[in-house]
Amino acid sequence: MSKVISPLQVAESLTARWSPKIVGEVDEAYVKVAKLHGTLTWHAHAEEDEMFLVLKGQLIIEMEHETVTLHEGQFFVVPRGVRHNPIAEEECLVLLFEKKTTQHTGGIEHAKTKSIEDQLHQN
């Protein structure tokens, strides 16, 4: 059964940073929210695109050939295979749209890496 969800309210309630929480599913994709501050790590998703929508704050996405800055209400899709490094200089709340096969930090294991199981049960 479907329910109404406020991604902003869920993201604001998160205590852990860089730990996405799955809040919905659309076909073969997850809808996630996260609270970010600082930097994650350089990584890529070989087979999946990754969409970042800024709910609150500002997000910088470094890529090898360009850097984009997203403000509240803006989104950007990092194409599959593109190495990127998300940076939030101040606390930032985001909504992510990713295929269910998307690993948090691509194939790179990092101290901040969260499994899909972690993302399903994140508080």
**pLDDT at site 96:** 93
Q: Name the β-bridge partners of 26.
A: 29
**What pTM did the predictor assign?**
0.81
Find the mean pLDDT for residues 109-113: 53
**pLDDT at site 119:** 45
**pLDDT at site 45:** 84
Burial 34-52 (b: 16+ CB within 10 A, else e): bbbeeebbbbbbeebebeb
For residues 30 and 33, give the distance between their C-alpha atoms in angstroms, rounded to a whole number.
10
Find the mean pLDDT for residues 70-90: 96
CB 119 within 8 A of CB 22: yes
**For residue 55, what are the CA distances in angstroms to 7, 33, 82?**
8, 9, 23
Share above pLDDT 70 across residues of the chain, in percent, rounded to a whole number: 80
**CATH number, domain 7-121:** 2.60.120.10
User: Is pLDDT of 43 > 50?
Assistant: yes
Question: Could you tell me the two tokens for 19?
Answer: 């730990």
For residues 73 and 112, give the distance between their C-alpha atoms in angstroms, rounded to a whole number.
26
For residues 73 and 55, give the distance between their C-alpha atoms in angstroms, rounded to a whole number.
6
For the chain, domain boundaries: 7-121
